[in-house]
Amino acid sequence: MGGESTTRTVPRGGGTDKGPVGGRTGQRLSGLAVALGLVLFLGGFVWGAVVYRPYTVPTSSMTPTIDAGDRVLAQRIDGTDVRRGDVVVFKDATWANAPMVKRVVAVGGDTVACCQEGKLKVNGKVVDEPYLLDGTPAEFSNFPTVTVPEGRLFLLGDERDNSVDSTAHLTDAAGGTVSRGAVDARVDAVVWPMNGMLERPTGFEALGGLSSPGPLRTVVALVIAGAVLILVGAAYGPLAKRAAASRARTGTGPAGAR
């Protein structure tokens, strides 16, 4: 009674229980992972939407590279960036009133002819075309040497026996060629079915530089990395909080240390 004193222990932090330290750290890390994941995920989608356009190829004129009904992604480019061997999307009123997909085999200033032992010749050089079906000749009917005017392109389908391409327009005023300005995009990949990126045809390397693949692989990597971070971050926060609470109850974590 008299002279006796009672000592009370006041909880640290003014008596406010803020929960396990590990849980709070986990929540912060979880939030950062989700935020970074959203930036990567949305950034990848926006970048892809700006750079690429989707197309459905309606015919089999590009078989076996692209079959009828395949869904492709084509990089938006200026016609001046087109190189030999590129598969491009273009629209020319004298050919059709819809976008068409063909392969560029010759550019302005080139001479193109067929066939020498079943092979295409550009500027006097025989061009190896591995994208054609095995045993398929470069053309089923020969055509005379064509000199491609500057600023124009000579295009063929990979299915040479079933393609309405430059060879079908040789008697037109432009001699079967198409303006570079008619090109809207360059096909980078077949995405449905998921056949992946188109190979750059090395047979044209001896005639000049090939085009470089677009940023599709980087775009896909950003989207996947973002999705993984979002999923991991969303799961890590609750798991870390639960683990920290469990350690606090058993006295094995920071809250139970003496």
Active site residues: 61, 102
Which one, of 197, 7, 233, 244, lies nearest residue 87 by Cα?
197
- CA–CA separation, 157 and 66 (whole Å): 10
Identify the helix (H) or strand (E) that includes residue 187: strand 183-192
Sheet holding 143-147, edge to edge: 125-127, 119-122, 111-116, 143-147
Determine the Cα–Cα distance for residues 169 and 161; give it in Å rounded to an integer.
Answer: 15
| Residue 193: both structure tokens together | 């079915």
Asked if 179 contacts 79 with a C-beta cutoff of 8 angstroms, the reply is: yes
| Cα–chain center distance at 131 | 20
Q: What is the CA radius of gyration of the chain?
A: 31
Q: Which of 25, 154, 146 is nearest to 92 (CA)?
A: 154
